[in-house]
Chain A
Amino acid sequence: MEKSQIKELKSILKSRYNRPMKYYIDTCTRCGLCYDTCHAYDGIPKKEFSPVGRAEVLRKLYKRYRSLSGMLFPYFTDAAGFSDKVMDQLHEAAWSCTGCRRCMVNCPFGIDTGMMMGVAKHLLVAYGTAPEELVMLADAAVEKGKSIDEFKEGYRGVIKDLEKTVQQKLNLPSPENLIPMEKMNADIMYVGLAGAHSIVNPAIIFNAAKENWTLSYFEGVNFGFFAGDPEKANFIAQRIIKEAVALNVKEVVMVECGTAFRILHSLMGELPFKVSSIVEVIYRYMESGKIKLKKNAVTEAVTYHDPCQLGRNGGIFEEPRDILKHIVSDYREMTPTREHNWCCGGGGGLGALDNEEFRIKTGKPKKDQIVKTGAKIVVSACENCVSQLQVIKSGYGLDIEVKYLTEIVCENLDV
């Protein structure tokens, strides 16, 4: 490895050595309590796929460069400097972690391995081995943010087509303005994804509830965050924040994407508007009577998969369950559930990579959970989770149907 590259990597290490990282580097006792909490380790029992095994690769770098004991006694503390071998280990560690933070819930010291792997990904970006797919998608999102005016006309054309679908579903006389854009002072600005389903279903729900809303030009997903590039991640998130501030909206509602929700809800600090998930908004409408859902309309057994970023990292547990319990007559809970629910294995950007075999193996705990419920329909409220559940379904040949929460809600809207 060249000296200049080591210097650059060391400066990243230093810049990311904030207060939580200081705790996480010094506090881990390698008790191993996190071993059996990771779906990746459960699927492929290999040290490198355990939370502690992953974190140790980064920890040994910090010890080598930032800790007195590591500098003086590298053998005793297992400290190691930057080398191609260590960077390869870091790659394996970072790109097997979905950032689900199930290990953090179970760690006696609350160590956030997901955050540590964020630092690892940042180092890999500088080292040049970050997954190209994610880097390209992040670049595209940044480019869109820089020159949004060039995208607006084409995007409006696409939205016009989607408005017709909303009109048909709700039997409305005209498709005009069913998906409003650039609307000032709206109560809600909804942030979708690139896929039509992420806009059409929420648009049906907003129109059914007669909401004063507007659609964001940007997609909620943050490929900068997935790739591990904090600058791009911040720029991508700031696009949405600036748009919401410019339109003076009261609330930003995030699409069914756990990471998109967590970034804006928890990681961007104080914002001048409320951040909610579409799941919370649907629940609000249902409770206030703004939308009517058919009672017990679905008779097949249904279970709900908690997206990690909405559940244990976002605190949204009861709302989706209450919605589903209204619609379905046979709701079944997974075991373990809520904050202890197993990650499906598709988060953290892993779902965008060419790693299907790995994701099938590491999705084993989720497969076992689903099979145990006997459910025929698995519902989730996250793009990554739904895609990964489809991979698990085909990988293990499960006889199930996977649905978005907004999808099952729209199918059972009483209009």
Chain B
Amino acid sequence: MWDKIFHYVLIHMVYLAFAVFFGGILFKLIIVLFSKKFKGSLATYPRKLPRPIGIAAEALIAMVLLVLGHLELIKEFKFIQIIKHDVFLGAGFVGITFMICTLYFLFRRFKSPWREISVPEDFLLLILLFLTTVIGSHLHIGERYEMAQFGLNAELYREYFGSLVAFKPVIPEGISLSPHYVLVALHIFLANLVLMMLPFSKMMHMVFAFLSLNLKRK
């Protein structure tokens, strides 16, 4: 039974997650673009960007690096290899940085005044992001530093992700027969959830932030 569930998570659910992710963002953008514009100006002066939240900037950089790192798990991209490195990008520190950021945002929510303004969604999303990253980091660091003969290498991931991109999905035996298969499935499952929730949660700020900031500078 678990084999079937894992197979569903690693193949069908991935396609579903990406469809919901892209479809959801497109749906939201269409709704926004066809909505009534504000006839006046909402500018504030001088027209400059607001102060950043500090650690959010680090989380953003780590997030971009995580996306780039995952691209390299599909195939080799020359533009990512401008600075020569082993796959996965960042030698494990990118994931750790992202975890520290999510933990910071999570623990902050238990403290006043953030506690008063937090809603269940805030905790849920941060826990989800943290768990996704902690398992992903475990998979990466275990392989990279050859801990306990981990055996799940970048080539296996490339075979798996490459087959998904080519719409000829296979789960290599190196992954499906690995004792760590459950972790891979769990990581992909959580990542699928993040992707599906993004367009319909406050994570949408990743897209709308640019548009709303543009309003105050118009």
Contact = CB atoms under 8 A, between A and B. Distances in A.
B50 A26 contact: no
Contacts of A67: 200
Contact of B45 (A33, A75, A317): A317
A106 interface: yes
Given A104-B216, A268-B39, A19 B117 contact: no
Given A35-B113, A267-B40, A110 B212 contact: yes
Residue from A30, A47, A115 having most chain B Cβ neighbours under 10 A:
A30
A285 to B, nearest CB: 23
Contacts of A77: 119-121, 201
Given A26-B202, A110-B216, A339 B121 contact: no
A47 B208 contact: no
Contacts of B178: none
Interface residues of B, number: 43
Interface residues of A, number: 51
B50 A32 contact: no
Contact of B215 (A20, A28, A105, A312): A20
B124 interface: yes
Given A105-B50, A339-B46, A23 B211 contact: yes
A42 to B, nearest CB: 12
Residue from A101, A111, A311, A314 having most chain B Cβ neighbours under 10 A:
A111
A108 B50 contact: yes
Contacts of A107: 50
Contact of A266 (B28, B41, B56, B213): B41
Given A22-B35, A105-B44, A109-B205, A30 B119 contact: yes
Q: Please give me the 8 A-B residue pairs with the lowest Cβ-Cβ distance, nearest first.
A: A315-B45, A78-B119, A267-B40, A23-B212, A110-B216, A269-B39, A18-B36, A47-B116
Interface of B: 28, 31-32, 35-46, 50-53, 56, 108, 113-114, 116-122, 124, 200-202, 204-205, 208-209, 211-213, 215-216
Given A23-B212, A31-B53, 6 more contacts: A26-B208, A33-B53, A35-B113, A75-B120, A313-B45, A339-B45
